[in-house]
Structure 1
Amino acid sequence: MSLSILLIVYLSFTLDRKDDIKISVIELNGDNHLKKDQYFKFAGLDKTNEYGKLTLSLIKDRIEKHPYVNYAEVKYEGQNKVTVNIFEKNIDAILIAESRQFFITDELEVIPFLPFTNKVNYPVVSNPFIETDLKNIKWVNKESDIVTGLKILTTLKLVNPGLYEELSEIDLRIGKDIVLFFSNLDYPVVVGRNNEIRKTLYLNSLWGYLNGKDVNHYMNYIDLRYNEHVYIGLNSFPDNKENRASEDKESES
């Protein structure tokens, strides 16, 4: 018998063995997006008087069925205590479409945004152009508009983690010009369509000149739509003279 077969037999025996253990306490660790009681309720582990019916494999199976959980490790610690270590899925963004919210994982999986969810400080990808009913979408890898938004997000994360942390929303505007919003800026960044990654790199280069500068107080947009040119719209200069040069570049998408 090979080593791998022996290992599988051992693990199966470890999880399924129940005759010689009694479970009265279940401890759960690794809960970030939901509190322990929500995981327990979902898995039917909230009633201690029913613990006598449980096995280690059953606990593992129930916990891993939760949409937030990637996998779980279940171990009998002795003295009637079981420890469950959960490893939640990595969330990249919150998807808002058709007035509904979802999580998008780093594996491009769409999972429901559940009540009582904690830690929701993720960038929002909103108003994608999609032809399929969202309730039928499990993975977004074939939804090109959503993928475009995620490419912008990933590019920012790689080249400028600080600016990425300030990214609050990528508005895909149902196929129209893409607009970015940042929590530390009072103005939008218009990306438009096509060459979105290149334009995001332009924004990163520009940010090196704008970050912390007084000019941010007088800006009302950054426009990256026009090939390799970047246009900055100004409300007014400090001396209250209008910036006529920027006005003729401002247009409605």
Structure 2
Amino acid sequence: MINKIKRSIAEAVADLHDGAAIMISGFGDAGSPHELIQAVIDHGATDLTIISNNAGSGETGIAALLKANRIRKVICTYPRMAASHHFEARYRAGDVELELVPQGNLAARIQAAGSGLGAVYTPTGYGTLLAEGKETREIDGRNYVLEYPIHADFALIKAQAGDRWGNLVYRKAARNFGPIMAMAARTTIVQVAELRELGELDPETIVTPGIFVNRLVQVTPRSAAAAAA
């Protein structure tokens, strides 16, 4: 019987390893899997490469990983957000490497990894510092930059609901990078607010099919508060 549900967040991330590349969903706070990120901190893995929309802000999520000095490199679009003081401090100290990627290119490169593409041509970044050292090409009179897929060892994703096969539905803007990250990682780990029985999710609303999900764990407001305590 296929059952991808784990009993605890700690069990879900038990095989994380030092040096792993980890995709983390979220656009700002929407769709950010804070409890899974905290589980990474508790696990102890270090020297991580984090692929996300941003480099964290405040004291939780990716910012907490930076504060704990677990991150070696960040691949993101917005490294400096309001209250992104932990990233700025680590970056200025030379503790963290940054690869800056325009948001559309970030999504395209992650999607390329999930779709099995070798590379993609994009006009974004052509003629700027972001294109230095990269192959360029003119296609139908327009200039493009060759960008390569971004793969990951793990993806940490937040969804609204899932079943034991790993089928997922998301809540509004919290959907953001989750679906493409689930396709691009070797191991996809998902925290959901609701667990549903097989057949309860309307097939027309399922965004991420279970084939792209390896593990999921239920995180309710009550369980999250207990974990924080």
Alignment TM-score, normalising by the size of structure 1: 0.24
Larger Rg: 1
Greater relative CO, 1 or 2 (CA 8 Å, sep 6+) = 2
Q: Where is the helix percentage greater, Structure 1 or Structure 2? A: 1
Please, what TM-score do these two structures have when normalized by structure 2?
0.25
